[in-house]
Each structure stands twice: as structure tokens, then as C-alpha cells.
Amino acid sequence: MDTAKKALLVVDVQNDFCPSGALAVPGGDRVVPVLNKYIGIFRKAGLPVYFTRDWHPPVTVHFKAYGGAWPPHCVQGTPGAEFHQDLEIPPGAVIMSKGDDPGLDSYSAFSGHDEKGRNLAEVLRADGVSHFYIGGLATDYCVKETSLDAFREGFEVTVLTDAVRGVDLSPGDSDRALEEVKSRGARTATLENIEVSRRGGVHEGPEDIAGGAERKTG
Ligand code: VGL
Ligand code: ZN
């Protein structure tokens, strides 16, 4: 049986990544109702739910004007940096901020920190979590880089494919990102095959064997 302690990581569901935002991800806001369902499932199971936010200073090498790839977005303290208003953030939830170093892009949630200065690996280890489920924005940047870092840090990852959307600067970027993380061992799941056991654990149902990761039954 799968005894790993699970958690949910909700990535960058902020106004600037939603339609009419400064760096709109197509259909970005459509992840919100789906993520709210996952948030409910994990909370009911008594498992942690963490949130990340892109949290840039006005001047950063991440922005085009200073050598980066992107228009200004998610600038600290602006409405664009706020979470989507319908996202159901539980009171007291841990929020990891990333991208606040003006010299770095910082796509990965592992480069972020909470308000106490702990990084994501420290937070996960402190909570005893060894496997997290990830959803949010954007598939081809933060979701991808966070998943790849997770393996480097020794965590297991399941990508919630019905709760992610990508930028797709080049068509197909998001599909390629998912293939890459699956080839490194990520699993995938959707609301259709997420299961909550009577003991309160969350795991993927039988359909989810994508990526070749073996699934223990029991
Ligand atoms: C992101 C592009 C620019 C992300 C952040 O969090 O996926 N993408 N900044
Ligand atoms: Zn950014």
C-alpha cells in the first residue's frame, strides 16, 4: 500500500495569468473551479494544501525591458499579483512567494519561500510530505520546473492534468512539458481517478499509470 503522505500544491493562480491579465494564459481561469474541488478533497482528507505566487519586483531580469522574456506581470502589491478572487484559499494556508530576486527568473516553486523564510523542500519535509499533487499555471513553466525540481529533491509528483494550463509561446510547449515530466517519473491524474481512501489517504485510481511510474496496490 502507498503510505506516502500527500499534499496539494496550487501554483500561481494569479490575476495576471488569467484572461485580461498582463501575461494571460489561455483559459487560465478555468483551472479555478477544478482546483477548488481538489482543495476540498485534500482538506477533507486532512492533508496540507500549499499555494505559490509569482512575486516580482518592478525591475527584474525576468522582464523584457531588463533582458528577460516577459512583459511585466505579478509585480508585488499590484492587483495582477493577487490570487484569482474565486480561488478558495483556506485560512492560514502556507503561501510560497517566488521570483522576488531581481537577478533570477525563478520558475520553480522550490526557489520560493514562505513568510518565515522556509523554502518549499523545508516546508514539505517539516510536514512529513513525500508526494505532492500539482495544479495551476503555467504548465510549461512553473508546473514543469517545480516538478523537475521535485525529483531532484527526492519528492514524488502527480500532475493534475485537468487543473493546469500553459502559455504555449510555441505551440505544443505544454504537451512537451507534460511528456518530459512524465518521462522523469511524474504520474498524472484527474478528478475522474483521484480516490480518497477510508483511512483519509488520497491516491490515483487504476487509470493512472502514465509515465511508467509503477503503482502499488493494496
Ligand atoms: C511563470 C512565466 C513567467 C510561471 C512565471 O509561474 O509559470 N511563467 N513567470
Ligand atoms: Zn514571472
- What tens digit of pLDDT does each residue of 203-216 get? 887 644 333 344 44
- Burial class, 86, CB count within 10 angstroms (exposed 0-12 / middle 13-18 / buried 19+): exposed
Distance CA 57, CA 123 (A): 24
Beta-sheet pairing, 194-196 with 187-189: unpaired
Tens digit of each residue's pLDDT (9 = 90 or more) over 176-190:
999 999 999 999 999
Q: What pLDDT shows up at residue 125?
A: 98
Task: List the domain boundaries for the chain.
Answer: 6-213
Whether the Cβ atoms of residue 3 and residue 128 lie closer than 8 Å to each other: no
Share of the chain above pLDDT 70, in %: 92
pLDDT for the residue numbered 120: 98
DSSP 3-state assignment of 145? helix
The CATH superfamily of 6-213 is Isochorismatase-like (3.40.50.850)
Report which protein residue has its CA nearest ligand 1's atom 4: 142
The Å distance, Cα 210 to ligand 1 centre, comes to 25
The pLDDT value given to residue 203:
84
Peptide bond into 22 cis (omega under 30): no
Q: How far is the CA of 60 from the centre of ligand 2 (A)?
A: 10
- Are 208 and 215 contacting, i.e. CB atoms less than 8 angstroms apart? yes
Which amino acids bring their CB within 6 angstroms of ligand 1? 12, 54, 70, 107, 137-138, 141-142
Q: How much is the pTM?
A: 0.93
Tell how far the Cα of 80 is from the centroid of ligand 2, in angstroms. Answer: 11
* Residue 200's pLDDT band (cuts 50, 70, 90): low
